[in-house]
Structure 1
Amino acid sequence: MPLNWPDEVQSVFAGDLVTVSAYLTPAGGAIVTPVSPVGLVDPEAGTIAMTSSLAFPAKLKRLVQDPRVAMAYFTREHGFATAPHQVLAQGTATVPAQPSPEQLALVTRQANTFFGDMPTGRFWDWALREYVEHRVIINISLERVMSWPSPDLRGAPEVYGRPAPQHPDPQAPPTGGTGPRVDTAKFRRQAQAMSHQVIGYRGGDGLPVIAPVQVSGHSERGLHLDVRPGLLPPGGRRAGFAAHAFRPYAAGVSNRVGTGWLTVTGDDVTWAPHTSGGFSSPPNKSLHLLGNGLLSKHLIRKYRRDGTLRELDDLRAR
């Protein structure tokens, strides 16, 4: 039976411009990535959705192998949602082999609403062909929705669907050690320059969990995080981190993401980055689109030549 949620949550699902998604790694950690779901939600079916380009097949491959996913609606910036509720949605993703023409048409209409009308003409049709046409729509059948009426996530959340599990037990540390493996001071500077910061990990029932945090400093142990007491599980575990910022119409996007080791001991919360990545796009919408289009064109051709897309198609077919 499809999951139901109230109008306040529906407003958030339908209106947030940029959210973050999380999926699991084979080692039991999580990858957290900012996304723009353009309000794709079907309350009657109990689903939300996001799109992804075939130019980034690693995420799609992992979702086919392990479809447990979460989406956090924590920003409420430059979008259309009016409710203050902070929402975490968890469920199971389906990566179809090919979206229907109706789905692609819906995504185009929604994208024009959230991002503004796409430029047209012979040059733009060529530049954006792979970016627009070579996309998949990832449908997420929701199993649980957690909603905090307060923007600072104080108090117990309202839970729709499966009851929230207990905090997961601590994980065994990685063989390479738990300390930082990248420049922590640089990572801190980059993260603190962005207004939205989250941490993601595997929850007590195996579904990813995403929680808002704030980087307050760093030491030899890693980044020091401020977080509402009780929101994160005690002990140590693999966890993904994302900091991001964006302007109206999702132009001028910047993010800094990574995987690492999260340690929670009472009020002391640290995250030691093991990997680091990210990018910044121009604040000019046309330049932003052109960059996305040319990058998608290059990567699609590359992955066609080396067989990556064929491997993904075979995996989805199986």
Structure 2
Amino acid sequence: MGLTMTTTAPGAPVTAWADDIDQVLAGDLIAALTVTTASGDVVTVPTAPLGLRDRGQGWVSCFVPARFAGRLDQPGPIGRVALTFLSRAHGTATSDAYLLVQGHAEAGHTIAGAIHSRASELLEPALVAAFRDGWRGERRHDAIGVRVRVHRITTWSDARASGIPTTLGAAAAAAPLPQPVPSHAASGVDARNAVRRFRGHPHRLLSYAGGDGFPVTIPVRILEAGEQGIRITAPAGTLPAGDRRAGLLALSYGPRLTGLSTRHHTGWLSKHKDGTATYVPHSGYGHHLPQSKALRLLAGAKHRVLPAR
């Protein structure tokens, strides 16, 4: 699925974040990049942040596997995004925090310096070569550099995003308004099959457009699946009221980013009075790579579109 973004003008970046936040940005092995496409869908893809950030200048960067990148391989602004730091697994940070970094992004940014040694420390050797072409800015590369000019950092104290978050930078956005139900709101993917494919993927992330247009990505727990869709729950205060487009990502990965496996869906989210919500998947695809063949994802392994039923 190609990612076609709309652009907006950035404001002043957030700078001088605290050491505990910087530790997470520096040490996490994986992060999730969320964008809103031109068609209005919300899409989240895995990225390798490699600890790339600058507190003084107010930016955080990552590399996106080329197969996920779509039109990100065209240099230039890509608009409002969210970069979510969701897990300390296999990284070097020790905090339990869940970080949502929102900002304006540019694709195709060339980042050099000490990146090779950083990648060699965190990734398996085969992946290092794939990323090297991306940060050199070569025309045919396997990973796309994305730089995010930080607008807001929202931090929860644990990986479940429970409790009251703290916000650095722009004030927290107002709740987004409900969206009109589209004519194609019926599911194009069997919800039960979708949930079965989530097995072995412990990280489940829901994404939607926030009240100020920046994407929001939160961890969710799946309760059940049936003919009406996938019933989910999320930490208090994180699910917006009403109906809207949303993306759902299930993710697993191993040490040094080997064995990366994902399941992606675009669809429709409806929140209920009891605080739970139903997610109706419209489309989906996934990647699953054996531990020894993780490089295939970065080298452009084809994704498989899930059957309609």
Normalising to structure 1: TM-score of the pair?
A: 0.81
Residue aligning to 1:273: 281
Could you say which residue in structure 2 is the equivalent of 1:209? Answer: 216
**SS of 1:67's equivalent?**
strand
Gaps of 5+ in 1: 299-318
Residue identity opposite 1:288 in structure 2: A
Q: Does 1:256 align with 2:268?
A: no
Counterpart CA distance in 1 for 2:53 and 2:107 is 16
One-letter amino acid of the counterpart of residue 225, structure 1: I
4+ aligned runs moved over 6 Å, structure 1? 127-132
What CA deviation, in whole Å up to 9, does each residue of 1:175-232 have, x standing for no partner? 21x2311121110011133100000010000000001002221011111112112211
Alpha-carbon spacing, 1:55–1:270, altered in 2? closer, same or farther (3 Å): closer
Q: Displacement of 1:238 after TM fit?
A: 0.3
- Structure 2 gaps of 5+ residues are 1-11, 303-309
Q: Which amino acid aligns with 1:277?
A: Y
Q: Distance in 1 between matches of 2:132 and 2:61?
A: 22
Q: Following superposition of structure 1 onto structure 2, how do residues 1-318 of structure 1 map, counting pairs within 5 Å? A: 2-3=13-14, 4-52=16-64, 57-60=69-72, 64=76, 66-96=78-108, 99=110, 103-118=111-126, 133=138, 134=141, 135-176=143-184, 178-266=185-273, 267-284=275-292, 287-289=293-295, 291-292=296-297, 295=300
Distance 2:168 2:133 in 1: 38
> How far 1:58 moved relative to its partner?
1.9
User: What is the identity, as a one-letter code, of the residue corresponding to 2:35?
Assistant: Y
Cα distance in 2, alignment partners of residues 129 and 87 from structure 1: 27
Contact preservation (8 Å) 2:134, 2:145: no
Counterpart of 1:315? none
Supply the distance in 1 between the matched residues of 2:240 and 2:276 (Cα, whole angstroms): 12
Larger of the two Rg values belongs to structure: 1
| Equivalent residue number for residue 301 of structure 1 | none
Distance 1:79 1:235 in 2: 37
Structure with the higher helix share, 1 or 2 = 1
Compared CA separation, residues 15 and 141, structure 1 to 2 (3 A): same
Pick 1 or 2: higher relative contact order, CA cutoff 8 A, min separation 6. 1
CA distance in 1: counterparts of 2:218 and 2:37, whole angstroms: 18
Counterpart-to-counterpart distance in 2, 1:231 and 1:37: 25
What's the RMSD between the two structures over aligned residues? 2.7
1:295 Cα offset (Å): 3.5
What do the CA deviations read for 1:41-94 (whole angstroms, capped 9, x no partner)?
A: 111111100123555552416995741100111111111111111110000001
Instruction: Give CA-to-partner distance per residue, 1:124-172, whole Å, 9 cap, x none.
Output: x8x9986785244211000000011233322221100000011101001
Displacement after TM superposition at 1:288 (Å): 2.3
Q: Among the aligned pairs, what percent are the same residue?
A: 29
C-alpha separation between the residues in 1 aligned to 2:39 and 2:181? 11
Partner Cα distance (1:264, 1:241) in 2:
15
Report how many aligned residue pairs link the two structures: 285
Change (3 A) 1:62 1:249: same
Identify if the C-alpha distance between structure 1 residues 55 and 243 changes in structure 2 by more than 3 Å, giving closer, same or farther. Answer: closer
Contact in 1 for aligned 2:134/2:144 (Cα 8 Å): no
Q: Give the secondary structure class of the aligned counterpart of 1:192.
A: coil
Q: Which amino acid aligns with 2:252?
A: A
The structure-2 alpha-carbon separation of the partners of 1:183 and 1:111, relative to structure 1 and needing over 3 Å to count, comes to: same
Contact 1:29/1:237 (<8 A) preserved: no
1:275 aligns to what SS in structure 2?
Answer: strand
Aligned-partner Cα distance in 1 for 2:74–2:210: 18
TM-score by length of 2: 0.84
